[in-house]
Amino acid sequence: MAQDSRLSSFWDMRYQQDVTPWESKQLPPDFSRLVQALIPDKKTVLVPGCGAAYEIDFLRQQGLSVSAIDFSEEAVFRARQHLGVHADLVTRADFFSDELSGMWDWVYERAFLCALPVSSWGAYAQKMSQLVKPQGHLAGYFFLRPTLKGPPFGTSLDQLKTLFQPWFTLQSQCPVSGSLPVFSPDESWLVWQRR
């Protein structure tokens, strides 16, 4: 099995073999409550590394214009299957490429940063600064357990503050319940505001 999580084949193989401990196959338990503070002033949301896309339908039903991407063909296939008539909300794209452009009110993070090798995190932060509108938000679930091996590659709040410092300010942090075993008990809901 390929071990480089920067490659789409790494994720394709995991979906094909049903080795997807990051997929809950349902909306995260706290999700609808946590997003309520964000939704009133948001019109657009991007979901990078969307996987099977369980949050997308909920976000669409809240009146948000949702764009979702994944670079795994298998993940995109599953997401489109799950979304049915709304399958066109999901596109196969590489987050780091020029093909992903535009700005969103909110970029939703869920098991995307921790899927990337630490060597990619600087590029992740810089790309987020290009995708989140000024005064917009990068918000979602962050895996706060520093790890040497992964994925998932965990981090600390201090490391995130250093990573995002040029562009984002931490607005709020909230512990979450019902995390998947691979992340429990070290997941937090973090809201970063774009300067």
Give how many domains the chain has, as a whole number: 1
Q: Average pLDDT for residues 147-158, to the nearest whole number? A: 93
Mean pLDDT over 170-181 rounds to 94
Q: What's the rounded mean pLDDT across residues 135-160? A: 95
Confidence of residue 29 (pLDDT cuts 50, 70, 90): confident
Q: Tell me, yes or no, whether 1 lies in a domain.
A: no
In a domain, 2, yes or no: no
What is the average per-residue pLDDT within 69-85? 95
Question: What number is the average pLDDT over the span 53-73?
Answer: 94
Does residue 39 carry a pLDDT above 80?
A: yes
Q: What is the pLDDT, as a whole number, of residue 2? A: 43
Pairing of strands 187-194, 168-175: antiparallel
CATH of the domain at 32: 3.40.50.150
Q: How confident is the model at residue 192 (pLDDT cuts 50, 70, 90)?
A: very high
Residue 3 lies in a domain: no
Cα Rg for the chain, rounded, in angstroms? 15
58 inside domain: yes
Q: Which residue range forms the structural domain that includes residue 17?
A: 8-194
pLDDT at site 23 = 87
Give the global pTM: 0.94
Residue 7 clears pLDDT 90, i.e. is over it: no
What gap in Å lies between CA 129 and CA 41, rounded to an integer?
Answer: 19
Q: Is residue 97 in a domain? A: yes
Both tokens of 158, joined, read: 């201090």
Q: Give the pLDDT of residue 1.
A: 40
Edge-to-edge strand ranges of the sheet holding 90-92: 90-92, 65-70, 44-48, 104-110, 132-143, 187-194, 168-175
Q: 77: exposed, middle or buried (C-beta count within 10 Å: 0-12, 13-18, 19+)?
A: middle
Residue 89 lies in a domain: yes
Burial zone of 154 (CB within 10 Å; 0-12 exposed, 13-18 middle, 19+ buried):
buried
Closest Cα partner for 48 from 117, 164, 159, 132?
Answer: 132
86 part of a folded domain: yes
Pick the more confident residue, 26 or 62. 62
pLDDT of residue 3 exceeding 90: no
pLDDT tens figures, 43-56: 999 999 999 888 99
Percentage of the chain exceeding pLDDT 90? 76
Give the pLDDT confidence score for residue 26 in this predicted structure. 85
Structural domain contains residue 84: yes
* Whether the predicted pLDDT of 70 surpasses 90: yes
